[in-house]
Amino acid sequence: MWLPHLFSWRIPDSLWDGSEAAILTQCHAVVQENLSRYQPPEWPDDVLWGLGNALLRARRALMQDHAERLIN
């Protein structure tokens, strides 16, 4: 996740001291805030079935490709 506001020179010194720990602390706070607001989508059964089917086909294709690379 790119959070350009965390690297802005406009951030007061009290919020950011330039250290990796300060950046990680700020990022953690942003992620926690986003997670607290998250609400899973409510999709109809046919949409969920279609998504599951697409995921299954993608997994099969990836496994087939991987198997072919191992053989060759």
pLDDT value, residue 42: 93
**Per-residue pLDDT, 45:** 96
How confident is the prediction along the chain (72 residues), in pLDDT tens digits per residue?
677 766 666 656 556 677 888 788 888 998 999 999 999 899 999 999 999 999 999 999 999 988 888 887
* Cα-Cα-Cα-Cα dihedral sign, residues 36, 42, 47, 50: positive
Distance CA 35, CA 29 (A): 10
- Tokens 């790119």 sit on residue: 2
